[in-house]
Amino acid sequence: MNSLTSITHNRLMERDKVAAVMVKMAELSKVILLPFIGIAIFLSIWTVTANSIDTSLGKFPGPVAVVTQFENLYQEHVNEREKAQAFFERQETRNAARLAKDPSYEAKIRGYTGKETFWDQIVTSLVTVMSGFILAAVIAIPLGIWMGLSRSLQAAINPIIQIFKPVSPLAWLPLVTMVVSAVYVSPDPIVSKSFINSMLTVTLCSVWPMIINTAIGVSSIDSDLINVSKVLRLSAITHVQKIVLPASIPMIFTGMRLSLGVAWMVLIAAEMLAQNPGLGKFVWDEFQNGSSDSLARIMAAVVVIGFIGFLLDRGILALQRWVSWDQ
């Protein structure tokens, strides 16, 4: 009798264990299996449809063609770097030889002016988008806080924001270009004009969501907390530092995420339109180039652009987790 109950007991335990494993499997499948299936279906649909689309540059590239182009792009990058390396080595030996003959000879060091690789374009775009975004944040967050604190300032600035917010980057670009070439004149510029153009266009388009969200966050702080600050007679600076900033951090980050998304989209468009270095220019050049590989290379760029956009968003989210008190 006793042993019988213990057997059933064991069986029950076993069953519990199995159930627990099943639950875990179900969770795992949600995280891994389902996205995997989704991607697999997407790839097969892509392959099939790509095969049936004929363009003037040949068939639309399927996943395999794109992967091949990734390999090519990587190889081109490696080759280009080797060339650069060789160039510098040659230059060095030449200079050393000259110097040995004539000690008063001043060595000339020239930069390598090779073709920018796909990787170079990615780096350029990333640096540009981050510079433009950080500049926007430096303007938008203090201004948004100020607007949130002062109803009069909010009333004064709000119409301007509402009007400029929906303006497309393509409209700003010519203006920015003209102004930059008029104002930014230096015989030995630290950064190129095209970089400034792209960056300012990004700033102009991504500054608005951050201003708006910061201002909303600040003006919707719990009035009890404001009263605490009043009773304590906190100075304006302490008030902002101890109450306003922490309280509006979640909204500030919401604005930053929106802005960075806008910034990344705007940058690619601006680079295409203005032929400024970056991923946008890569896409445009490939389009103009019109070789049989072009579409696959553009598709590779599209994948990279999407992936970077995703990573940028995750980056802000991680920053928010790190800074914010409520997550």
Binding site for other proteins (CB under 8 A): 222, 224-225, 227-228, 230-234, 238, 242-243, 246-247, 325-326
Name the amino acid, one letter, at 154: Q
Q: How far is the CB of 235 from other proteins (least distance, A)?
A: 9
Give the three-class secondary structure for 59: strand
**Radius of gyration for the chain, computed over Cα atoms and rounded to the nearest angstrom:** 28
How far apart CA 20 and CA 25 sit, in angstroms, is: 9
How far apart CA 106 and CA 121 sit, in angstroms, is: 34
Smaller CB separation from other proteins, 235 or 292:
235
Q: How far is the CB of 220 from other proteins (least distance, A)?
A: 15
Which residues partner with 54 through β-bridges?
Answer: 59
Q: How far is the CB of 316 from other proteins (least distance, A)?
A: 19
Instruction: Report the interhelical angle of 279-289 vs 245-274 (nearest 10°).
Output: 20
Place of tokens 């640096």: 127
Residue 279, C-beta contacts closer than 8 angstroms, at least 6 positions apart: 121, 122, 124, 125, 268, 271, 301, 304, 305
Smaller CB separation from other proteins, 101 or 233:
233
Q: How far is the CB of 236 from other proteins (least distance, A)?
A: 14
Smaller CB separation from other proteins, 249 or 299:
249
Q: How far is the CB of 88 from other proteins (least distance, A)?
A: 52
**Cβ atoms of residues 27 and 10 within 8 Å:** no
Residue 256, C-beta contacts closer than 8 angstroms, at least 6 positions apart: 137, 210, 316, 320
Which residues partner with 59 through β-bridges?
Answer: 54
Smaller CB separation from other proteins, 196 or 243:
243
Q: How far is the CB of 231 from other proteins (least distance, A)?
A: 5
Smaller CB separation from other proteins, 131 or 248:
248
Smaller CB separation from other proteins, 106 or 224:
224
Q: How far is the CB of 326 from other proteins (least distance, A)?
A: 7
Instruction: Report the interhelical angle of 294-323 vs 63-101 (nearest 10°).
Output: 80
Smaller CB separation from other proteins, 170 or 234:
234
